[in-house]
Amino acid sequence: MKKCSIYKFFPLIIVISAIFSISVSAQNKSIDSLKTRLPKVEGEEKIKTLLILSYNYLRISTEKSLEYSQMALSYSENTGNERGVARAFLMIGSGYNEKGEYTKAINYQQQALDIFEKIGDTAAIGKTYNNLGMNYHNLGQYKKAIEQYQNSYQIANTFNRKRDLYFSLNNIGIVYDEWGKYKPALEYFKNALIIAKDINNKSYTAISSQNIGVVYQELGKNDSAMLFINDALEISKQIGDKKGVFISLINLGDIYVKFNNNKKAINSYENAIETCKGSENKNNIALASLKLGEVFTHEKQYDKALHLLKEALKLAKEIEETKLIKDIYKALSDYYAKVNDYRKSLNYYVKYTNLKDTVYNRDSRREITEMQTLYELDKKEKEIEIQDLKIEQQQNRFYYIISAIGLLLILAILLFNRYKLKQKHFRIELEKKNIEIEQRLLRTQMNPHFIFNSLNSINSFITDNNSESAQSFLSKFARLMRYILENSRKTFVPVEDEVNTLNLNLELEQLRFDNKFDFEIKVNDDIDTEYTFVPPMLIQPFVENAIIHGVANKSEKGKIKVELIAEGELMLCIIEDNGIGRDKAMELKKKSG
């Protein structure tokens, strides 16, 4: 059975405590009473009231929330209240985060951070780092997210703020889990659990136990997963946390399904539905009904299964939960196939595939847009960096010339030979810097035709409704772009990373050329791939030549072999292909031109 992301606890976001200090009773004030109070207060109280209104509207109407936080910003600026300006920036960032406009959220939160650092508010600094981490996380920039969370952790650790330490550890664990790095995720979640128990916070203890259980589930260690999720269930029951109870029961049901223990799975899912009684959470009821209906279908209890699946569909449509509706359509298609009503089975399967394509196309286009934006931003950063290096190079050259002239005037002929040696050394260093700049520029502007063609290929797959190929291509392309962007600032990378990048590159080219060739990458056992370093993207242009001038124009299937061999202190790279050769490729190009 599929595991829905709802069962994971998402980053714990500090909003109010990062903005201003208010009491619990102030937070619970109704919107109407706050509006009545607003015209009667001035100064700090007015800023606080505006920001509480903004926070209270955050989950109701982001537009209203932003309206009140903008009013707080304007009032703070007019009264010269720097702390108020920073609080307003932070609240505006929270509004844009809620809207899913994460780049705007980062911009406002960074402005808040600058002011908090200026006025020395360490508590707010730590919590703002936490919010920045959350937005980078939402953008898929996992390294930057972890950096921000670690900054928050360092501040919390310095001042022994254990609650903030818990937030940071938990959020780093969530990033690693989404990144697919389950071992560090598990380590951070376990450290968060230690702090939760230390401060005797049962809610945090339940959250950490649940997260640890989910990671064990992802690692296939279902016995350990069940142990921690049962702990989370018991604690959630003790503190009356119905949401925590629901999540634990659903996760336990999923594990029982994996164990083929459908009797216990049914019991868990039925208890999950029972937990939702009296609440208006239609999403949870629909989700539990879907899972229970799937198990009843498998158990051939068809009347119960159909009733639950139809009820789940009704609720999902009421709340317009597209992804849930899609999964219910698939479950109904499976149900009707089991009862031999193939017409209805086909009807629901068509609905499922249509909705799946709609959801996939929407998500894919959003991911492509974000990827293009990130690429352009990174490219601009590289151009600025290269320009700075050129300026530094010119300044260094000027200083060297002035020094050389001064030495000539003072020492004349006696130091002439030394001067010549210095000039020689300078030229060598200059050449090295020029080579490094050229390499960085090459990596920054790496084969724009390849990137453009790859994006066109993705768009073509989506247009042709070939979602499976588009998904595969997009996944590999995203990983390749991440490798390129991560390594573009580095002068050298491990052979292991270079081979991974090359492998992704060849897989994409293989898809783009309709599998016209096979390839093999072989690394000699004498090479320590983790501790042997090469310039990034060094091999890629030669392999690309092998494709374009070799196998691309070949009528039968081509073969490319890349082999890395250690020869003494050197590493030899051999690229072989069974293509038509450069001369023949140029001849064909002239004829086609």
CA quadruple 26, 32, 33, 37: dihedral sign: positive
Say how far apart CA 85 and CA 70 lie, in whole Å.
Answer: 10
Say how far apart CA 153 and CA 167 lie, in whole Å.
Answer: 8
Residues β-bridged to residue 518: 559
Q: Which residues of the chain have pLDDT under 70?
A: 1-29, 359-385, 432-454, 457, 461, 465, 580-593
| The amino acid at 25 | S
Say how far apart CA 130 and CA 148 lie, in whole Å.
Answer: 6
Terminal Cα distance for the chain, rounded:
54
Say how far apart CA 248 and CA 250 lie, in whole Å.
Answer: 6
Residues 6+ apart with CB under 8 A from 352: 326, 329, 330, 333
Residue 246 · residue 275 · CB < 8 Å = yes
Residues 6+ apart with CB under 8 A from 418: 407, 411
| The amino acid at 201 | N
CA atoms within 13 A on the CB side of 138: 22
Say how far apart CA 419 and CA 410 lie, in whole Å.
Answer: 12
Residue 269 · residue 288 · CB < 8 Å = yes
Q: Give the per-residue pLDDT at 513.
A: 80
Q: Running DSSP on this structure, what letter comes out for residue 10? A: P
Hey, how many other C-beta atoms are within 10 angstroms of the C-beta on 335?
Answer: 24
Q: pLDDT (tens digit, 9 = 90+) per residue, 452-473?
A: 666 776 777 677 767 777 777 7
Q: pLDDT (tens digit, 9 = 90+) per residue, 272-285?
A: 989 887 777 788 88
How, if at all, do strands 493-494 and 533-534 pair? antiparallel
Residue 439 · residue 487 · CB < 8 Å = no
The kind and range of the H/E element at 65 are helix 62-78
Query: Which structure tokens are listed for 496?
Result: 């292991």
Q: Give the per-residue pLDDT at 38.
A: 86
Residue 328 · residue 316 · CB < 8 Å = yes
| The amino acid at 469 | S
Q: Is the pTM above the cut of 0.75?
A: no
- Helix 495-512 to helix 467-487 angle (10° resolution) is 150
The kind and range of the H/E element at 326 are helix 322-338
Decide: residue 118, CB within 10 A, 0-12 exposed, 13-18 middle, 19+ buried.
exposed
Query: Which structure tokens are listed for 583?
Result: 């001369």
- Helix 162-179 to helix 142-158 angle (10° resolution) is 160
Q: Give the per-residue pLDDT at 70.
A: 94
